[in-house]
Structure 1
Amino acid sequence: MSEEVTSPNYWKSLGELAKNEEYEKFVEREFPENATELNDQVSRRSFLRVMGASIALAGFAACRRPVQKIMPYSEEPEDIVPGNPLYYASAMPFQDALAGIVVENNEGRPSKVEGNELHPASKGNTSIFGQGSLLNMYDPDRSRYIRKDGERSSVSAFAEFCSEHFANTDQNIAFISEANSSITYSRLKEQALETFSNAQWITYEPFGEDHALEGTNIAFGQRLRTYNHFGQANVIVSFDDDFLNPAANKNSVEDTKQFTDGRSVSSPEDGMSRLYTVESTFSLTGSNADNRLRIKSGDIELFVYALAAELSQSVSGLEAFNGYSNEFSDHEWIPVLAEELLENRGDSILTVGRDHKPALHATIAAMNVALGNAGETVSYYDVPHIEDQNNQEAFTELVDNLNSGTIDTVVLVGTNPAFTAPADLNFPEAISNAEQVVHLSDYYDETSKLANWHINRAHFLEAWGDGTSYTGTRSIIQPQIEPLYSGISEIEFLNTILTGEESDGFDLVQETWQDYFTSNFQDQWERVLHDGVAEEEEYPTVSVNIAEEFGSQAATFVGEAQPSEGMELVIRADSTVFDGRYANNGWLQELPKPMTKITWDNVALMSKKTADELGVTEAGLGKSEVEVVSITVDGTTIEIPAWVQPGHADDSITITVGYGREGIGRVANTMGTDTYPLRTTENMLVADNISIEKTNRTYEIACTQDHNTMEGRSLLRHATLQEYREDPNFSSYESSYDAEMPGLSYAEEHGEDRPLSIFNSIDEQEYPADEPQWGMAIDLNACTGCGVCTIACTAENNIPVIGKREVSEGREMHWIRNDRYFDGDVNNPKALHQPVPCMHCELAPCEQVCPVAATTHSDDGMNQMTYNRCIGTRYCANNCPYKVRRFNFFNYSKEFLTTGDDPEIVQMAMNPEVTVRFRGVMEKCTYCVQRVNRAKINRSIETNGETKKPKDGAVETACQQACPADAIYFGDLTDPESEVVKAKKDNRNYLLLEELNTRPRTSYLAKLRNPNPKLA
């Protein structure tokens, strides 16, 4: 090469950035001595105690099928062929939005959840919560029976109680419910309010959209749901709105797909949208931004008002902001954003986090109207089931009524306010004043223990139901299995209260849908069950205009806006356990959080500058003992581990909720810190002037960010859109390798065009002409780093969940990891994500060193593992430059099968097509070989043996199918028209560590950003 090329400064952690002595030692001991043994008997018992369903699903149980008596069919069902799975359409509720799913069933037991291609909210993909929902259903810690005053009871006894107690229709009844979009549920709710003359119905969600709805009410005079068409916008400005994160956006799957569609680039001539984010903590959305500004969350309100004032000089409708000025009015971003938005009128989107003040949502709505975005890139839906009153205000009023003793009966449907309600309301004490408390819930949780009646709820995969998507598309939820623990659904629960009789969800749902299908009911009903979606209009959209009253109200809230003072505390839903409802899910607990890579815990995030001021040192490497801080808000103090987060705003602390639970389940118990005590009615999102100080304690955090380090070798390549246009081949090997790379000088002397390696002399394998040759390409420009690929792979391949202790030892078993890199300054870096499965190398180093040929190449080009042949030398892991092999250290099948309740239930979720691995073997990504072989068999049958090559798209790996960004391509490399071949022909395509000449079959398309050069 004519000049030296400098490698990018990618780093995963502050330790790697510093490359200090601790880091060097950590790298050297990546494979620790005596790592194969676990002799601590206490840890063995603890391991079993906390893993619950997760460990059995992980592959530590001995059987793949439930232990049961074999009863032959007297007449075999026509649609069941042993060994062939069946697929049924259904829908998954999350808050008050459904996403369409398709559930794989193996001889009557659901074993995998996928997205429904026909459903607009999923289009074939899922979120981490959708993939993890299966484990929740098989959780042995779910509530197993009805309880009356803590003692076991029955459905019939509950029905008898309802017939007597609710016969008094004049009593004061308070219904407290989760958000729910079910049409049948809404019908029963209306019946309840008609039947009980003194009833009130409150919907309470700790992280709902109440503020957003009230914001549109201020701006337009009615409560409307905002829907952003991210795929149609040229410019997107996000103010603390982590819309790519399923924990922050109940419509994240659809929004992610739209967002990545708007940034799809196949040639230098293509354009892509530009994303600006203004936020306090480094969010998943912020990591995908082209330009990111970190400011305190409490100052975002002032920043938006300053931008509105700048825009008011050029557009109508924002007159209330004319002449307004604050400390951000002179910020360099304000004129740049205003210019961009004005140049893209009707082609831009402004959005704000759902928990910010209604006034801020109203301002954003008015700005979208003023810029011509309403009706173009932003739609507003009139949603029937949204209440007229603000739910938080109504909930607070209800607690006041409880304290005054005016409520006779409280009926709680799913929600858990004893854990999640604002701490200053003291809900547990308030509810004790009611004469009767009835609670339907999945677990015998904090609220259930305060109730007279606890009713165990059926999982959505066990019950009939219905509902609507975020934009109003109707679907039916159909059960995949009988309730494992005899639970009842929400609609059955409500109908029993109304009628005093045991209910059938199927009849209730059919009764509702009779009103929609007035002719040919059975045909239309069966069509909806088959497709999983009803063909009809969505919620009605509303043409909006800024209300006359908006100007006067805006003048008031703008005048009241004050800058954030002192140290602020930001409280958010957790990215993996949400508000705590997924705390007992081992798959989600062990999934590294997108930005911190922490598992099994929550922490207090802070910037490096803030940590230095507090005297808090950053976490060490590997097994991280971190310092604990105490945080005090309005006299309430909690202690929580501190974590230094690059890119976090200064003078701001971010914590997440959902942890620190007791008596819920073996996974959730004692994990993390309960942070809800700091959340009050006045500080739902942000608290100012908090007190924070170090304690003398430390706490161990299991974090994967420094696992599988590449020791400075660059796996990820990225450029700006402008750089790509100037050099379309920027990611090619010749353009990207370091001129000082070992072996290069020798190669140049001998006329070679690439560094030599030990594999150059190895003959490549020859493959049969009739076999497909599989390969994969991953588009880093589409990947958002959400982690759903990891969960989908776990669910598909019976991958172990190993627990916090073993993760901290670097033993996590995920077959596809999602690396997060930082690039640039520690205070304001860029972030990049890269999924890394097995590369399936043509010249695989692992195959050369295995003494027993346990890892070999198949006829269709995949690097395979023969588990029964593996003797656990781990030579292959030592020789894998990509560090994608996982050693199975443990085998607890014997202990597990004699521990806990109903081990046969949790075994039912295992994929029968995937081998259950045992202790002492190496495992890794297989390109979902079970799916490949199934497709080859089907293709051979279709063609009467003429070919085994499936049509393009007939095989989807689990990670590919789940990915809402459509970032993964997989297919036959011998098919020139296949999507994977087209991807590999893209000039952004490159191979990892190509200089090693391992010839990977997995390749990557380089990441592109589209920053505004004025803010570079």
Structure 2
Amino acid sequence: MSEEVKNPNYWKSLGELARNEEYEKFVEREFPENATELNDEVSRRSFLRVMGASIALAGFAACRRPVQKILPYSDMPEEVTPGKPLFYASAMPFQDALTGIVVENHEGRPTKIEGNELHPASRGNTSIFGQAAILNMYDPDRSRYVRKDGERSSVNAFTDFCGDHFSDTAQNIAFVSEANSSPTYNRLKDQALARFSNARWITYEPFGEDNALEGTNIAFGQRLRTFNQFDSADVIVAFDDDFLNPAAAKNSEENTRRFTDGRHIESPEDGMSRFYAIESTFSITGSNADNRLRIKSSDIEPFIYALAAELSDSVSGLSAFSGISNKYSDHEWIPVLAEELLENRENSILTVGREHKPSLHAAVAAMNLALGNAGQTVSYHQVPHLDENNSREALVNLTEDLNAGRIDTVVLVGTNPAFTAPADLNFADALSGAGQVIHLSDYYDETSSLAQWHLNRAHFLEAWGDGSSYTGTRSVIQPQIEPLYSGISEIEFLNTILTGEQRDGYELVRETWQSYYTSDFESGWKQALHDGVAAEEEFPTVSVTLSDNFSSAAGDFATGSEASEGMELVIRPDSTVFDGRFANNGWLQELPKPMTKITWDNVALMSKKTADQLDVTAAGLGEAEVEVVAITVDGTTVEMPAWVQPGHADNSITITVGYGREGIGRVANKTGVDTYPLRTTSNMLYASDISVEKTGKTYEIACTQDHNTMEGRSLLRHATLQEYRDDPNFSSYESSYNAEMPGVAYAEETTGDSDPLSIFDAIDEQEYPADEPQWGMSIDLNACTGCGVCTIACTAENNIPVIGKREVSRGREMHWIRNDRYFDGDVNNPKALHQPVPCMHCELAPCEQVCPVAATTHSDDGMNQMTYNRCIGTRYCANNCPYKVRRFNFFNYTKEFLTEGDDPEIVQMAMNPEVTIRFRGVMEKCTYCVQRVNRAKIETKIETDGETKKPADGSVETACQQACPADAIYFGDLTDPESEVVKTKKNNRNYLLLEELNTRPRTSYLSKIRNPNPKLA
């Protein structure tokens, strides 16, 4: 293998690629500038007010328990053992797709969410939104009470109002709601439409699947949900579809698992799918592509039609596209893709982003049908709860009627259109034309402030409910705790409007489920609660054929589809705060975005070439003062910081929504820029011919991409599938030393002149007791997609503090596992690779040798431990760690937070009681979730009557491992030759980071393999 393949030129940022003087100064500092002290004008208390509750809830501000009198159980519940958590099956709603979860519960308070292994949508995994949901529930900034005309009221008062106001069943009522798959919710919806003769129901999501549904209607004559079975496909082609991103796909967990299953490889003889991505913005999904083409979003349309025209001569059903000629007809990718797709009939998938035009979804559906993929790799489902009408058109019509004064009452369920509706509708102003506005929501938000009645909504962990997965698997949502702020659920809210009475959600859900278990209801009900999933069939699949009028329709919309040649603006949901509903979540705000590593802000992404055209200086360093640009669309201007994204399409700028909010919470307030004003009914995905100008202003961005850099050393190894077959041992360190895992039973060590030199020659390797397990980890880079859920899961499990934008910009982020993103190749069109980096748990740990107080030591089961109350904060260990995985806790805000008037009880309830809360001045790092390890060892010892304390393989999962939807992380006992982690470490793709240092880490990696088409390499 060539030297270039063995040691590729990876780079994390433009600064590192340029290696300019500023960058060299940045990386040469032992600690980031100003990292040793807080020396700005912001006081601790004012900083706390800015950061708010989420810092405290994440572990920043509860370092001591307040002294309180408590009462013991007088009658101990049978199922409760103090200190031992209980686990309950439930489900998490996201838009209208439910994901099965299991909630860890400590003495009546939920502390952690995991995936439900029995649920087909999760199979035990979660997304970043699932992991962060626990923090949303404990957010003190959530709405705490009912309001009438802005003043505090009560549920009883609202109930009395409903009994009187809704007695007029002939009034014009408009219900506007979020998407919801709940059978109970939709039963009440049907009852409302039946009771109120002049009622209408609009389901509005800022980023929904309406275009995709309209596309299947054009192609097949009915609105169907498309489900892609990526594990069954040999060739995947994605057109601007970020299907691995939870912000862009409701079922991202299942997509990720299926996608990585189709690319799982254990030996050079194995095959794997080939994935093509055609997109404008460098997305998570695009970063995992074998071949990626960057084009403008407006160019996706002519590209798809050019491909359909190329296929039309070889397959039936695409005659409407025959003869089409446009700017992409002669593109080098078109014949290559056509050849691949024709060679893999019935084993390929084409997919397009859900925000693209219905006509594009129709064209893609027709191509999947023509290639034989429909019914094989792609299925189509009838979804009973979906509206038959276009929701965006319905919202436009409602706005017109509001402005004309034709609506008596507007009932808004969860949705926030005053913030998220297309700007040209001026929905906030239109609401003033209604007689009554009633709003149920989590926060007293932009829409709530315009309503006569605001009802505070209960979190899904506080209320009974139900729903269906993306493909229709039903589940019951079980509450884990009484509503913290006496909120009510959606179904309780609708029932009160219908009946003028209060009724418990438990009764409403059971009433719905009576029809599912007619013979033995109680048995079926209890089984559904226990398993978290009902065993009934999913949404019915449909055998599809092209509709009679498809050809004429396709001919019309495919003719003359040429994109604008001017500058283009692409508008997307944010990868961490989505459409703004998660903006007050500190864990998500501080999670570095997968491709830019920016935290706490949204930016205007552009290519290096576009930045040069605009004379915008490329941003490169973590402490980035970047230039601000003014973006104008149809006379509306928004100013926001510019950020150069390698691999972005030229003449295109991408922005995300969800930021710049006011008055909903201290974390979200004035964080980032509100970009919804640039999104209109005609520009829902992209706007053409925009104006972009420099403002002369600068703005500080907190970006982690250059933090903890390892200065160009080869840390991530990858090859093509063919290169792997030519050299199966390309990942190996060139040494006679077998580094599968030193210090354990199966390691076969040899000596020789090429053995790695130890920097601790005088130190003997530790001897371990024979009865102790020896823990190790392996991370498969071929599976890792870079989604970041491991970081959030670790944060939730280990009470890791959120520190805020200012501190992140100084390099003080506290995440115990970071997700490095590397680029490889040319700045305009690089490949991207992801690598999670936790503590390596080295056998010959450099940190242990330099600690003057022995705060970092080795355990009998081989883990590198931190004794917090022994640490005196010298930070010698962090300086001596070649992997840069140790974090120093600079601050302790306990006293200041508890005197700010918030609820210390709620703050403490969010904590995992099995993990120590660290105080100021100590070093912390990944512990391999030692609390989970010890729990399993104790349980094993009890179950075996003391014969062994080695848990069975798979009985211990770290938080990052359990959450990962790609199943990229393996953890287990290295003394068990049959364990999964040992098997992965014996794979010829296994390698150690900085193996030449001979620190002998217990965490290793499986190198990345791509399968590019050599004709496009």
In structure 1, the residue matched to 2:526 is 526
Return the offset for 1:752: 1.3
In structure 1, the residue matched to 2:477 is 477
Does structure 2 conserve the Cα–Cα contact (< 8 Å) formed by 1:52 and 1:139? no
In structure 1, the residue matched to 2:541 is 541
Q: Classify the secondary structure of the residue corresponding to 2:621.
A: coil
In structure 1, the residue matched to 2:741 is none
In structure 2, the residue matched to 1:962 is 963
Matched, 1:699 2:699: yes
In structure 2, the residue matched to 1:51 is 51
Return the offset for 1:621: 1.5
Return the offset for 1:71: 2.5
In structure 1, the residue matched to 2:568 is 568
In structure 2, the residue matched to 1:306 is 306
CA offset digits 1:16-43 (Å, max 9, x no partner): 0011111110011241466332254634
Matched, 1:905 2:906: yes
Q: Classify the secondary structure of the residue corresponding to 1:461.
A: coil
CA offset digits 1:447-493 (Å, max 9, x no partner): 00000000000000000000000000000000000000000000000
User: What letter is aligned with 1:966?
Assistant: D
- How many residue pairs match? The answer is 1004
Q: Classify the secondary structure of the residue corresponding to 1:87.
A: strand
Return the offset for 1:701: 0.3
In structure 2, the residue matched to 1:109 is 109
Does structure 1 conserve the Cα–Cα contact (< 8 Å) formed by 2:324 and 2:559? no
Matched, 1:158 2:155: no
Return the offset for 1:66: 8.2
Query: What are the equivalent positions in structure 2 for 1:879-898 lying under 5 Å apart?
Result: 879-898=880-899
Does structure 1 conserve the Cα–Cα contact (< 8 Å) formed by 2:822 and 2:832? yes
Does structure 2 conserve the Cα–Cα contact (< 8 Å) formed by 1:872 and 1:922? yes
Does structure 2 conserve the Cα–Cα contact (< 8 Å) formed by 1:590 and 1:600? yes
Distance in structure 1 (CA, Å) of the matches to 2:14 and 2:972: 38
CA offset digits 1:244-270 (Å, max 9, x no partner): 000000000011000000000001110
User: What letter is aligned with 1:376?
Assistant: Q
Does structure 1 conserve the Cα–Cα contact (< 8 Å) formed by 2:775 and 2:862? yes
Distance in structure 2 (CA, Å) of the matches to 1:33 and 1:399: 52
Return the offset for 1:50: 2.6
Matched, 1:446 2:466: no
Query: What are the equivalent positions in structure 2 for 1:311-390 lying under 5 Å apart?
Result: 311-390=311-390
Return the offset for 1:6: 6.1
Distance in structure 2 (CA, Å) of the matches to 1:672 and 1:718: 36
Query: What are the equivalent positions in structure 2 for 1:406-425 lying under 5 Å apart?
Result: 406-425=406-425
Query: What are the equivalent positions in structure 2 for 1:125-274 lying under 5 Å apart?
Result: 125-274=125-274
User: What letter is aligned with 1:423?
Assistant: A
Return the offset for 1:735: 8.4
Residues 1:441 and 1:633: Cα distance change in structure 2 (over 3 Å) = same
In structure 2, the residue matched to 1:770 is 771
Does structure 2 conserve the Cα–Cα contact (< 8 Å) formed by 1:64 and 1:910? no
User: What letter is aligned with 1:938?
Assistant: E
In structure 2, the residue matched to 1:1005 is 1006
Return the offset for 1:561: 1.8
User: What letter is aligned with 2:983?
Assistant: K
In structure 1, the residue matched to 2:624 is 624
**What TM-score does the superposition give when structure 2 sets the normalisation length?**
0.97
Distance in structure 2 (CA, Å) of the matches to 1:156 and 1:859: 60
Distance in structure 2 (CA, Å) of the matches to 1:683 and 1:906: 42
Q: Classify the secondary structure of the residue corresponding to 1:576.
A: coil
Does structure 2 conserve the Cα–Cα contact (< 8 Å) formed by 1:66 and 1:904? no
Which range moved further: 390-399 or 330-339? 390-399
User: What letter is aligned with 2:709?
Assistant: T
Residues 1:273 and 1:6: Cα distance change in structure 2 (over 3 Å) = closer
Distance in structure 1 (CA, Å) of the matches to 2:311 and 2:759: 62
In structure 2, the residue matched to 1:921 is 922
Return the offset for 1:622: 2.5
Return the offset for 1:53: 2.9
Query: What are the equivalent positions in structure 2 for 1:493-512 lying under 5 Å apart?
Result: 493-512=493-512
User: What letter is aligned with 2:870?
Assistant: R
User: What letter is aligned with 1:305?
Assistant: Y
Q: Classify the secondary structure of the residue corresponding to 1:906.
A: helix
In structure 2, the residue matched to 1:744 is none
In structure 2, the residue matched to 1:743 is none
Q: Classify the secondary structure of the residue corresponding to 2:306.
A: helix
Distance in structure 1 (CA, Å) of the matches to 2:890 and 2:4: 44
Distance in structure 2 (CA, Å) of the matches to 1:47 and 1:263: 46
Does structure 2 conserve the Cα–Cα contact (< 8 Å) formed by 1:50 and 1:666? yes
Matched, 1:855 2:861: no
Does structure 2 conserve the Cα–Cα contact (< 8 Å) formed by 1:64 and 1:907? no
Return the offset for 1:758: 1.6
CA offset digits 1:292-351 (Å, max 9, x no partner): 000000010000000000000100000001111101000000000000000000000000
Does structure 2 conserve the Cα–Cα contact (< 8 Å) formed by 1:231 and 1:258? yes
Does structure 1 conserve the Cα–Cα contact (< 8 Å) formed by 2:256 and 2:965? yes
CA offset digits 1:760-793 (Å, max 9, x no partner): 4421000000000000000000000000000000
In structure 2, the residue matched to 1:740 is none
In structure 1, the residue matched to 2:742 is none
In structure 1, the residue matched to 2:743 is none
Distance in structure 1 (CA, Å) of the matches to 2:34 and 2:184: 59
Does structure 2 conserve the Cα–Cα contact (< 8 Å) formed by 1:760 and 1:997? no
Q: Classify the secondary structure of the residue corresponding to 2:461.
A: helix
Return the offset for 1:2: 12
In structure 2, the residue matched to 1:639 is 639
CA offset digits 1:55-81 (Å, max 9, x no partner): 223323346778765233221100000
Q: Classify the secondary structure of the residue corresponding to 2:122.
A: coil
In structure 1, the residue matched to 2:746 is none
Distance in structure 2 (CA, Å) of the matches to 1:52 and 1:117: 35
Does structure 1 conserve the Cα–Cα contact (< 8 Å) formed by 2:5 and 2:719? no
Return the offset for 1:900: 3.5
Distance in structure 2 (CA, Å) of the matches to 1:825 and 1:145: 55
In structure 1, the residue matched to 2:71 is 71
Does structure 1 conserve the Cα–Cα contact (< 8 Å) formed by 2:58 and 2:910? no
Matched, 1:938 2:954: no
Distance in structure 1 (CA, Å) of the matches to 2:3 and 2:592: 40
Matched, 1:668 2:673: no
Does structure 2 conserve the Cα–Cα contact (< 8 Å) formed by 1:67 and 1:904? no
Distance in structure 1 (CA, Å) of the matches to 2:406 and 2:1011: 59
Distance in structure 2 (CA, Å) of the matches to 1:317 and 1:46: 65
User: What letter is aligned with 1:771?
Assistant: E
Return the offset for 1:5: 8.2
Distance in structure 2 (CA, Å) of the matches to 1:43 and 1:217: 58
In structure 2, the residue matched to 1:815 is 816
Residues 1:327 and 1:568: Cα distance change in structure 2 (over 3 Å) = same
Matched, 1:828 2:829: yes
Does structure 2 conserve the Cα–Cα contact (< 8 Å) formed by 1:788 and 1:959? yes
Q: Classify the secondary structure of the residue corresponding to 2:433.
A: coil
CA offset digits 1:934-955 (Å, max 9, x no partner): 0000000001111100000010
CA offset digits 1:137-165 (Å, max 9, x no partner): 00000000000000000000000000000
> What are structure 2's unaligned runs of at least 5 residues?
738-750
Distance in structure 2 (CA, Å) of the matches to 1:781 and 1:1005: 7
In structure 2, the residue matched to 1:429 is 429
Does structure 1 conserve the Cα–Cα contact (< 8 Å) formed by 2:26 and 2:32? no
CA offset digits 1:778-837 (Å, max 9, x no partner): 000000000000000000000010000000000000000000000000000000000000
Distance in structure 2 (CA, Å) of the matches to 1:532 and 1:64: 36
Distance in structure 2 (CA, Å) of the matches to 1:70 and 1:766: 45
User: What letter is aligned with 1:972?
Assistant: D
Distance in structure 1 (CA, Å) of the matches to 2:736 and 2:752: 19
User: What letter is aligned with 1:124?
Assistant: G
Distance in structure 1 (CA, Å) of the matches to 2:102 and 2:35: 41
Does structure 2 conserve the Cα–Cα contact (< 8 Å) formed by 1:572 and 1:685? yes
Does structure 1 conserve the Cα–Cα contact (< 8 Å) formed by 2:569 and 2:690? yes
Distance in structure 2 (CA, Å) of the matches to 1:617 and 1:735: 45
Distance in structure 2 (CA, Å) of the matches to 1:910 and 1:50: 21
In structure 1, the residue matched to 2:949 is 948
Q: Classify the secondary structure of the residue corresponding to 1:551.
A: helix
Which range moved further: 831-840 or 28-37? 28-37
User: What letter is aligned with 1:84?
Assistant: K
